[in-house]
C-alpha cells in the first residue's frame, strides 16, 4: 500500500481553489437602496458672507497647494489678505470641529495663503467676459465698492470707481491701524482690482463735486460711501470730545498728535479698541469706558484680548453723563450702571445703579459709539433686495434717472469688512441682471449657500460648486471615529514691548508647515477627499477608483445597497437613496 498523500492535519489545504470568477453573479439585482457620491455644503461656507469654498481651500492647503488654494478663495473674494487680518470670521463659529475639540483657524490660514501669494509674486486669474458696452458707476472705494468694481469688470462692464479721498480703500485705509492692516498689504490687493481695468477717480465726493447730472450718464450706480458721521453722545459738553474715527484717519495720514498721560475712550466696539491701542503706542495711558458689561463688548474677541494683553484698562458699566473743561484737560463725568435681564440680542439691559456719579480728569476724551450714514444722498428710501443689499428709490425721479443700489455700511447693521464684501458681490450680480433686463431672483437663489444669504459666484456661473447638494452638513452627520484630537494652531505675536511702542503688525506670519498641519484638522464636511473608506469597506468590491480623475465610482451590477460605504464615510459625502423603479 502506498503512503498517504497527506500525513497530518497541518498539511491539509485550508481553503478550496477555484479556476473561475463570480462575475456572472450580478448581485446588484438584489438592491433596493442605492448609494451614490454627492458632495454637500459645509457650515463654514454657509456662514461666510463672502461665500468662500472653505473645505476645498483647506484640502488644497493641507496638501501644500497654496497657490491653487489662494486662487480658489479669490474666485469669491478679491480681498483675501485683508480678510485674513481683520475679518470677524463667522466661519469659525460655525465650524463643526468646535464641537469636537476646537474650530479650525480658518482666518489665519486665509492670511497665510495671501501672504504666500504676495511673497511668491502670484497674479490673479483674471477672466473677463466680452465687453458689454455698459458703463457702471461705483461710488465709494471701500471693501463693498472695490468688490463690486472687481466683479462688474469681470462681467465685461466698463467700471468707473469714485471716492472722496485721494486713495482707494475707505475704512480699510483710513480707519484700521497699521498694526492690524499694513498699508503695503492693502495696496497690493487693491492694485489687482484697479489693474483689471477699473477706472479710479479720487477726490470726488457725492453731493459736492460729484452730482447726479454726471451719474445719470451711467447705466447703473452702486453707492458704497460708508458711514463716517459719529453718533452723538447726547450729553452736555460733548464738543470737548474728539471723534475716534477722525483720530485714526489722522494717524493713517501721518499726523500723529503729541499725547501723554491719561486719556479716555468712550465705546466698546472695534473702533474704540483701535483708538485705545493707537493711543498707547503714542505714549498715552488709555482707559476704555463702556456702558455695559465686559461680556457684552461688541469688539472682536481677539482684539479685546490683545487690548487686555497690552495692559489697557477697560471700565465697564459706566455711561457718560457730561464733559467739562479742566486745567490741561477734560473732566469726564460718568454714571455707574447696573446690568438687568438680557435683551433680545443677548446683551444685558442696563439702568443707572443709583450710586453717585464719578468724575475722571484726563488729557483728552475720544468717542467711538457708532457711526451713521454719510451726507450726500438725495431724499428717498432704501428697499431691501438681498441680505446685504438695498435698492434706492429717490423721491425726485427727475434727479435720479438710473437704477441705484446701496450697499456696504449704508445697507447693513452688521458693519464689518466681510459683510461689505458680500454686499459688493450681491450688487454686481443684481446690477448685471438688471441692465440686461433679466430677473435676478432665480440667479440669487441658485447661487445661495445655506439659508443666510451667502452667495457663491462659482455656483451662480454653474461651476463645480453647483454640483453639490445644498444641504449643510451638521456635526452629528459626521463619522468622527476617523479623526483624532489635535490642538488648534496658536498664532505667534511680536513681543508686548514691541507692541506698546511701535506700529509694527502685531500678528506674525506662520510657516508653511504650520499652515499644512492646521489645514489637516479640517473635517472637510460634505466634501469627498478620496480617503478610500468606501473602497476599503465595500464587501462587494463594487467601488472602483479612477486614478486619472481622482474620483470613485460604484459598479451597480454588484452593489447590493448595504450602505456600509455611506456609514463609513467620515465627511457625509455620500447618500443612500431608494432604488429607482
pLDDT in tens, 418-432: 999 999 999 999 999
pLDDT at residue 516, as a whole number? 98
C-alpha 66/C-alpha 225 separation (Å) is 34
- Yes or no: say if 25 and 540 are a contact pair by the CB < 8 Å rule: no
C-alpha 60/C-alpha 478 separation (Å) is 21
C-alpha 448/C-alpha 435 separation (Å) is 21
Question: How far, CA to CA in Å, does 270 sit from each of 89, 277, 437, 547?
Answer: 14, 11, 41, 49
C-alpha cell at 417: 469688512
Pick out the chain residues at pLDDT < 70. 1-28
pLDDT at residue 57, as a whole number? 98
If we measure between CA atoms, which residue out of 337, 334, 312, 311 comes closest to residue 323? 334
- Yes or no: say if 318 and 267 are a contact pair by the CB < 8 Å rule: no
Over residues 215-262, the pLDDT tens digits come to: 999 999 999 999 888 888 999 999 999 999 999 999 999 998 888 999
pLDDT at residue 328, as a whole number? 87
pLDDT at residue 223, as a whole number? 96
pLDDT at residue 444, as a whole number? 81
pLDDT at residue 122, as a whole number? 96
- Yes or no: say if 133 and 156 are a contact pair by the CB < 8 Å rule: no
pLDDT at residue 7, as a whole number? 53
pLDDT at residue 14, as a whole number? 56
C-alpha 479/C-alpha 79 separation (Å) is 34
C-alpha 197/C-alpha 78 separation (Å) is 14
Phi/psi for 335 (5° steps) reads -100, 120
If we measure between CA atoms, which residue out of 69, 171, 179, 54 comes closest to residue 508? 179
Locus of grid cell 488654494: 69
Task: Supply the DSSP string of 45-106, one letter for each residue.
Answer: HHH-TT---HHHHHHHHHTT-HHHHHHHHHTT-S-HHHHHHH---HHHHH-GGGGTS----H
Task: Supply the DSSP string of 238-263, one letter for each residue.
Answer: GGGSEEHHHHHHHHHTT------EEE
- Yes or no: say if 287 and 273 are a contact pair by the CB < 8 Å rule: no
Can you tell me whether residue 513 is helix, strand or coil? Answer: helix
Amino acid at each position: 500500500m502506498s503512503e498517504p498523500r497527506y500525513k497530518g492535519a497541518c498539511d491539509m489545504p485550508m481553503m478550496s481553489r477555484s479556476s473561475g470568477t463570480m462575475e456572472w453573479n450580478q448581485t446588484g439585482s438584489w438592491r433596493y437602496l442605492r448609494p451614490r457620491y454627492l458632495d454637500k455644503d459645509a457650515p463654514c461656507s454657509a456662514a461666510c458672507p463672502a461665500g468662500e469654498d472653505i473645505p476645498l481651500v483647506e484640502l488644497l492647503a493641507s496638501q501644500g497647494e497654496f497657490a491653487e488654494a489662494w486662487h480658489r478663495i479669490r474666485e469669491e473674494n478679491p480681498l483675501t489678505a485683508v480678510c485674513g487680518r481683520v475679518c470677524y470670521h463667522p466661519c469659525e463659529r460655525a465650524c463643526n470641529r468646535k464641537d469636537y475639540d476646537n474650530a479650525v483657524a480658518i482666518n489665519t490660514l486665509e492670511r497665510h495663503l495671501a501672504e504666500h501669494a504676495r511673497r511668491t509674486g502670484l497674479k490673479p486669474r483674471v477672466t473677463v467676459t466680452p465687453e458689454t458696452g455698459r458703463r457702471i458707476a461705483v461710488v465709494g472705494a471701500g471693501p463693498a465698492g472695490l468688490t463690486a468694481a472687481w466683479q462688474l469688470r469681470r462681467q465685461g462692464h466698463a467700471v468707473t470707481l469714485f471716492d472722496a479721498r485721494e486713495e482707494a480703500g475707505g475704512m480699510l485705509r483710513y480707519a484700521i491701524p497699521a498694526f492690524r492692516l499694513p498699508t503695503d498689504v492693502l495696496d497690493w490687493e487693491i492694485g489687482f482690482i484697479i489693474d483689471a481695468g477699473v477706472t479710479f477717480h479720487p477726490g470726488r465726493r457725492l453731493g459736492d463735486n460729484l452730482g447726479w447730472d454726471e451719474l445719470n450718464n451711467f447705466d447703473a450706480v452702486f453707492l458704497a460711501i460708508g458711514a463716517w458721521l459719529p453718533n452723538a453722545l447726547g450729553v452736555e459738553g460733548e464738543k470737548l470730545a474728539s471723534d475716534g474715527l477722525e483720530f485714526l484717519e489722522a494717524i493713517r495720514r501721518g499726523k500723529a498728535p503729541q499725547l501723554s498721560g491719561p486719556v479716555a475712550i468712550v465705546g466698546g466696539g472695534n473702533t474704540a479698541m483701535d483708538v485705545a491701542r493707537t493711543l498707547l503706542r503714542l505714549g498715552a495711558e488709555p482707559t476704555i469706558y463702556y456702558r455695559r458689561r465686559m461680556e457684552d463688548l461688541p469688539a472682536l474677541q481677539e482684539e479685546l484680548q490683545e487690548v487686555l494683553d497690552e495692559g489697557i484698562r477697560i471700565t465697564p458699566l459706566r455711561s457718560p453723563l457730561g464733559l467739562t473743561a479742566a486745567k490741561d484737560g477734560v473732566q469726564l463725568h460718568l454714571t455707574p450702571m447696573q446690568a438687568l435681564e438680557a435683551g433680545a440680542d443677548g446683551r444685558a439691559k442696563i439702568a443707572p445703579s443709583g450710586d453717585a456719579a464719578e468724575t475722571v480728569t484726563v488729557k483728552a476724551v475720544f468717542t467711538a459709539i457708532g457711526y451713521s450714514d454719510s451726507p450726500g444722498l438725495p431724499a428717498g428710501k432704501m428697499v431691501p433686495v438681498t441680505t446685504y443689499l438695498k435698492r434706492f428709490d429717490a423721491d425726485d425721479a427727475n434727479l435720479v434717472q438710473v437704477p441705484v443700489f446701496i450697499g456696504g455700511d449704508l445697507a447693513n447693521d452688521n458693519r464689518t469688512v466681510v459683510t461689505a464684501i458680500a454686499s459688493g458681490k450681491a450688487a454686481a450680480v443684481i446690477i448685471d441682471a438688471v441692465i440686461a433686463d433679466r430677473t435676478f431672483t432665480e440667479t440669487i437663489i441658485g447661487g445661495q449657500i445655506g439659508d443666510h444669504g451667502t452667495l457663491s459666484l462659482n455656483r451662480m456661473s454653474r461651476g463645480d460648486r453647483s454640483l453639490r447638494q445644498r444641504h449643510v452638513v451638521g456635526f452629528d452627520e459626521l463619522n468622527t471615529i476617523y479623526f483624532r484630537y489635535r490642538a488648534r494652531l496658536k498664532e505667534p505675536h511680536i513681543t508686548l514691548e514691541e507692541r506698546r511702542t511701535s506700529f509694527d503688525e502685531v500678528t506674525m506670519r506662520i510657516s508653511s508647515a504650520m499652515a499644512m498641519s492646521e489645514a489637516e484638522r479640517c473635517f472637510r464636511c460634505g466634501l469627498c477627499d478620496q480617503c478610500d473608506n468606501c473602497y476599503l469597506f465595500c464587501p462587494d468590491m463594487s467601488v472602483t477608483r479612477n486614478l486619472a480623475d481622482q474620483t470613485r465610482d460604484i459598479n451597480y451590477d454588484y452593489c447590493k445597497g448595504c450602505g456600509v460605504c455611506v456609514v463609513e464615510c467620515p465627511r457625509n459625502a455620500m447618500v443612500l437613496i431608494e432604488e429607482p423603479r
